[in-house]
């Protein structure tokens, strides 16, 4: 008895025009496509035994959501058959554009008056990352954000922002005030002892150079911790004034 030949899925190019993701998008608009179909447009070609849409579905099954994909290491994408560097780069770039678009919708306009004024902007940029990211926000004389800078990406366990670099950036850009922020990949917003030591040391350096240090914000799982809101910035400032 002749063994049954394995049946391979029909290539997308042989699908009906209305079912092909790219043609479907152009005819009906991007909102008519599923997440797997949108991913398939970036993936472009499939692999033996599966179409680009199948790979898109596999990505969603493995990583659960588009949001969670944004923080996944590239090595995890390479475990999926059919994904090489070029395709992975396209997917990661598209997801990052979406992240930045969400951040732009919460664009920082006008003077910063409270932690909530900046958290809406920070959350799309820093939430759900698997590595710690440390951002420096430089404020102008009106207390409006003039620059947002990555100081350093850390490891999964710890970011290593350098206080000297932060102060030098503020001086270089003539920023009278600063806010710093980082994320906790665990989702917890409880500041560690090292977070507290760092914040206190940065306050000492800021006071010594005449720079106003407004806040240190920790981004977690759709939550945040503000050193200013919890009274710690004021506490550290009082210590710095006494010791200088």
Number of structural domains the chain divides into: 2
Instruction: Copy the structure tokens of residue 117.
Output: 């004024």
Domain boundary among 45, 77, 102: 102
The model carries a pTM of 0.63
Q: Are residues 198 and 215 in the same domain?
A: yes
Domain boundary among 60, 80, 102: 102
**In a domain? residue 7:** no
Q: Are residues 68 and 128 in the same domain?
A: no
Here the CATH number for the domain that contains residue 214 is 3.40.140.10
Tens place of pLDDT per residue across the chain (244 aa): 444 444 455 566 667 656 688 888 888 887 777 888 888 888 888 888 888 888 888 888 888 877 778 777 888 888 988 888 888 888 888 887 776 766 554 456 678 888 988 898 888 878 777 788 899 999 999 998 888 888 875 554 555 668 988 999 999 999 999 999 999 988 999 999 999 999 999 999 999 999 999 999 999 988 999 999 999 999 999 999 888 7
Q: Are residues 36 and 113 in the same domain?
A: no
**In a domain? residue 1:** no
Q: Are residues 98 and 110 in the same domain?
A: no
């Amino acid at each position: 008895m002749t063994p049954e030949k394995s049946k391979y899925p029909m290539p997308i190019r042989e699908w009906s025009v209305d079912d092909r993701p790219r043609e479907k998008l152009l005819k009906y608009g991007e909102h008519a496509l599923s997440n797997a179909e949108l991913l398939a447009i970036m993936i472009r070609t499939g692999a033996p035994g599966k179409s680009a849409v199948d790979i898109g579905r596999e990505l969603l099954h493995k990583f659960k959501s588009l949001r969670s994909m944004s923080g996944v290491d590239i090595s995890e994408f390479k475990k999926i058959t059919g994904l090489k560097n070029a395709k992975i780069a396209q997917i990661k770039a598209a997801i990052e554009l979406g992240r930045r678009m969400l951040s732009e919708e919460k664009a920082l306009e006008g003077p910063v008056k409270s932690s909530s004024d900046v958290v809406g902007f920070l959350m799309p940029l820093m939430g759900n990352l698997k590595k710690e990211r440390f951002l420096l926000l430089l404020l102008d004389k009106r207390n409006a954000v003039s620059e947002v800078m990555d100081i350093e990406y850390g490891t999964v366990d710890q970011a290593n922002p350098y206080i000297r670099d932060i102060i030098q950036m503020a001086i270089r850009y003539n920023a009278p005030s600063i806010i710093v922020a980082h994320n906790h990949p665990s989702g917890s917003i409880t500041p560690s002892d090292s977070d507290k030591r760092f914040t206190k040391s940065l306050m000492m350096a800021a006071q010594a150079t005449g720079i106003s240090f407004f806040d240190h914000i920790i981004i977690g799982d759709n939550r945040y911790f503000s050193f200013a809101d919890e009274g710690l910035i004021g506490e550290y400032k009082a210590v710095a004034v006494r010791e200088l």
